[in-house]
Amino acid sequence: MPDLPAADTAVGELRLLPEYAVRVGDSFDITLIHTLGDTSARVGDRFLFEWRESRWISPQVHNPDGSNYVVVLTRPGVEVEVSVTPRNYSGYLDAATRAIAVEITSGTLAAGDEVRVTIRQPRVSQPYEMSTVPFASTVSFFLRRESGNTAAYAPGSGDLRILPGRMDHISVTLPGGVSTGAEFPIDIDARDAFDNIDDSYRGTIEIDTGEEEVVHASMQRGRVMLSASAGDLGVHYIGARDLYSGAEALSNPIRVCRPEEPKVFFGDIHGKVFFCGGTCDVDAYYQYARDVARLDFSAVTGVTELFRQHCTGYRDGRPPLTEGNWVELQQAAGRYSVDDEFAAFLSFEWQSDWAPENIPDDFDHIEAAGDRSYGDRNVYYLNDDEPFYRPFDECSNTARKLFDRLRGKQALVIPHHSSAPEDFMGVGLKGADWQDRDDELLRLVEIYSKWGNSEYAGCPRKLTNHSQGRFVQDALAMGHRVGFIGSSDTHVSIPGGTGLEGGATLRYARPGYACVHAPRLTKADIFEGLRSRRCYATTGIRMLMDFYLNGSPMGSELQSEPGAERTLRVYVAGTDRIEAVEIVRNGRTVHTVMGGSQPVMDIEWTDTTDMSEYALHAEGRSPFVYYYVRVTQRDWEMGWTSPVWVDLA
């Protein structure tokens, strides 16, 4: 992160109350106290109390009885006007910022006078209206003084540290798979109501591994980290109980398999940090993914374009993702990747919303992307030394040009919230434009994220607003050969986390997960699992899913005579009882098996119909049929396998 502009001691100093750390769940006010330095302040001078976007501080000056109301006190006889600036992308703080502006309208402030700004009871905005802060984080406040045509920052910052809340429940996390006889970790965490780990909690945990003897372990700093040896082949669960609170938890399923068989790894590869619309730095992002969410792999998607009406950086000719930011992402992807422990991928988000009608008049330096808006697409690299491309550059301002720039690289292009309507979130964003196919690069789609499900019109958990013709099933019918992943698109920098994010279009707290079958937890193996579409999506749960058609795994492309039988094998191990397993053929559910009292199901079904009766036709392809599996649990969490395609011989 770049240094702030040089601070001027003559501006004065900034203090923050409370001076102590607060906890998630606490009720508190934030008071910012600016003491003027050597220079006085006159009519027209402004004090801007700034902070990098937190997503939970939403100051307002209209409703004294409401949360986030701003109160300003200063010297008697001095009158001020208080306003809240819109969210801006500041090149100075290298982040999305908010500010409370205090402008002197009458009187003079002398050296040593104070300006006190209090934000009463900050809390998350609509639609959740929680009277608490859900994220453990640190928010830094800065004071910028504007006088005439000059501006300067006060030295230092006021840092509000927010600790996790008190223990609400425990969690037990296991790997998705392990070879028989191998050691595997058991992570038991004390978590608050928003899944932050309460590192002040201590207790005794009783662990039931399914063996005759129950194990007891001491929990220190909110964690128990044990290891065990994998025994019998098959799926296993581990239970735990905190003897002090009585809290109980059952682990996700772990599959013990033969050494040569692939394992399942869980990731969230879509999220933001400070310089691209998030709320923390790159290190904190990856540490949350690895140490709090307990993910196996993750990625920061550096955004190359940001919502146009907020982008003050563009007006100065500074895009939000700089070369320096990109180097930071490259280095972090290498630094956090450790074989058999964690994989971090280099990535950027290509938001192609610069169609002519979306470019403000004063953005003369932006090159329009023609007459189409292609939607949002993330680009992922295997290697950490690759470049990024902006949607307003002549060489990459269309989907086809982007594909051409990526040709020959170890890269994947993955659209997200594909069914979003025109003017999604009121900023001109659109869903995926599926007109351009590319079998080499466009091999996956993010079917589910915090925004909702883009599977088909009327699907469960659908986006609050959506547009026809942009759903995943529409893309499949057009001949796209895309497998499925989920991820979060977190804007509060908690990949894999379940904390709520505000926003009128957001309906689902859980992120999606990208779940990959791979031999080992290495970048190369995970990337190949994604590229080969040996992957599936869930609504943020560690469900195990596998799907074969005539012995070929999900993601495969087969050839068959139209009348040949197709035998489908589906295996599911859930985190709750299975409600239903549905086999989808060409967008229609053709076979459903209802669940019972167990979370594990093993299904075999043979399709004997003649495929020529319902085969799909797409330009440049032979007639084809596709199949995938949709699973719904009793708790309504879901999973989707990648498809298998059958081309008619």
Nearest Cα neighbor of 279 from 494, 92, 123 is 494
CA separation for the pair 30, 40 (Å, rounded): 25
518-536: pLDDT as tens digits: 999 999 999 999 999 999 9
Task: Count Cβ atoms below 10 Å from residue 66 Cβ, excluding itself.
Answer: 11
Question: Virtual CA dihedral for 366, 367, 370, 372, nearest 10 degrees?
Answer: -40
At residue 353, the pLDDT reads: 59
Residues 6 or more apart whose CB falls under 8 angstroms from that of 132 comprise 24, 25, 26, 27, 123, 124, 165
Which amino acid, one-letter code, is at 649?
A
Domains and their CATH numbers in the chain: 9-163 (2.60.40), 169-257 (2.60.40.1930), 263-482+514-542 (3.20.20), 543-648 (2.60.40.1930)
158-163 and 22-23 beta bridge pairing: parallel
Nearest Cα neighbor of 143 from 68, 56, 41 is 41
Residues 206 and 239 sit within 8 Å (Cβ to Cβ): no
Ranges of residues in the chain with a pLDDT under 50 are: 1-2, 124-132, 307-317, 426-428, 503-506
Locus of tokens 């079958």 = 517
At residue 458, the pLDDT reads: 85
CA separation for the pair 435, 505 (Å, rounded): 26
CA separation for the pair 572, 515 (Å, rounded): 13
Nearest Cα neighbor of 381 from 526, 483, 515, 519 is 526
148-190: pLDDT as tens digits: 888 888 887 888 888 888 999 999 999 999 999 999 999 999 9
CA separation for the pair 582, 595 (Å, rounded): 11
Judging by beta carbons within 10 Å of its beta carbon (0-12, 13-18, 19+), is residue 528 exposed, middle or buried? middle
Residues 6 or more apart whose CB falls under 8 angstroms from that of 201 comprise 166, 167, 190, 219, 221, 222
**What percentage of the chain reaches a pLDDT higher than 90?**
62
At residue 580, the pLDDT reads: 97
Residues 6 or more apart whose CB falls under 8 angstroms from that of 625 comprise 585, 586, 611, 614, 615, 616, 645, 646, 648
CA separation for the pair 350, 618 (Å, rounded): 27
Residues 420 and 429 sit within 8 Å (Cβ to Cβ): yes
- Predicted TM-score (pTM) of this structure: 0.91
As a residue count, the chain comes to 649
Report the DSSP beta bridge partners of residue 592: 582
At residue 23, the pLDDT reads: 86
231-254: pLDDT as tens digits: 999 999 999 999 999 999 999 999
Task: Count Cβ atoms below 10 Å from residue 226 Cβ, excluding itself.
Answer: 15
At residue 585, the pLDDT reads: 98
Q: Give the ranges where 511-625 is alpha helix by DSSP (H).
A: 523-531
Nearest Cα neighbor of 352 from 310, 407, 400, 398 is 398
CA separation for the pair 131, 25 (Å, rounded): 8
Residues 535 and 444 sit within 8 Å (Cβ to Cβ): yes
Q: Which helix (H) or strand (E) holds 313?
A: helix 312-315
376-418: pLDDT as tens digits: 899 999 999 999 998 877 888 888 999 999 999 999 999 988 7
223-229 and 588-594 beta bridge pairing: unpaired
Residues 540 and 635 sit within 8 Å (Cβ to Cβ): no
30-36 and 114-120 beta bridge pairing: antiparallel
